[in-house]
Structure 1
Amino acid sequence: MATKTTASGLHYIIENAGSAEKAALGDTVLIEYTGRVTKKGKDGKYKIFDTSDEKLAKAENEFKPGKPYGPQKMPVGGTIPGFTEALQLIGKGGKIKVIIPSNLGYGEQGAPQVGIMPFSPIAFDLEIKDIIKGKPAPATSAPVAATPVKK
């Protein structure tokens, strides 16, 4: 299956588009995720550097005692740019595979503590379990008059 590429350079495959409800900046998503490096290790596998899947973490010797597993809350816009962009491509219940180029990821500094070297692309499997709507971002154009709420 061929990937699609956004204008920013994010490569993705939507496995399930999910609902019409999409996350926006300021929202919080409840997600399941697995992040992998894109360079095979000595064992010929793409090493996981982070996951919300406890079974997978144990199977790949990446289990971290004390780390919370299961769906995680993440603010849209509070992570690396490629992750933020990927979350906005699918709706609630959606699943996407993404390859995040280094300029949308950890860039020249990388994240060596988890095995992401400088200038390295990373891959994620993401699934949005729920979207918790936040306050809309302030408008940058003309102000909008507030509508009084009827009680």
Structure 2
Amino acid sequence: MDAEIASEFSKTESGLKYRILRNSDGRKPTADDTVTVKYRGWLDRGKVFDSSYERGEPTTFPLRNVVAGWTEGMQLIGQGGMIELWVPSKLGYGEAGSPGSIPAHSDLHFVVELVSVE
């Protein structure tokens, strides 16, 4: 992480909140790209619901195949960068939630390292 990290979150027009944890001049993905990332996701009360760190390997997926908050947020950093995302429910799983792991109307929190962009 960078030595100087903003203590406050920035907010996009859609309502996504984010903090850049590590700047990078690397290639920024578009919604049409496939990304490889390391990440940890948790709910408001701190319960981790998914973590590539715990699995011990990065994850690769098309950026269009994730919740809207991720698609938007990952386009804010370049390859090699790191970001903290605070995804409001409407940009996450909304009123449906994700059965078994994410309750309806849950805000989602992530720390994500962008390993590569394809």
2:16 to 10, 15, 19: 10
Paired position in structure 2 for 1:79:
66
1:113 to 87, 100, 118: 100
Paired position in structure 2 for 1:98:
85
TM-score by length of 2: 0.90
TM-score by length of 1: 0.71
Structure 2: distance between partners of 1:69 and 1:81: 25
Structure 2: distance between partners of 1:17 and 1:113: 35
1:121-132 map, 5 Å = 121-132=107-118
Query: Structure 2 counterpart of 1:120, which letter?
Result: S
Q: Tell me the percent identity.
A: 38
Structure number with bigger Rg: 1
Give CA-to-partner distance per residue, 1:12-47, whole Å, 9 cap, x none: 000112224100122111100100011x2xxxxx01
Structure 2: distance between partners of 1:99 and 1:117: 16
Structure 2: distance between partners of 1:98 and 1:31: 14
Unmatched 5+ stretches in structure 2: 1-6
Segments ≥4 residues shifted beyond 4 Å: none
Aligned residues: 112
Query: Structure 2 counterpart of 1:24, which letter?
Result: T
Unmatched 5+ stretches in structure 1: 41-45, 55-67, 133-151
Answering whether residue 52 of structure 2 is matched by residue 26 of structure 1, we say no
TM-align CA RMSD = 1.1
Structure 1: distance between partners of 2:117 and 2:35: 5
Structure 2: distance between partners of 1:78 and 1:112: 18
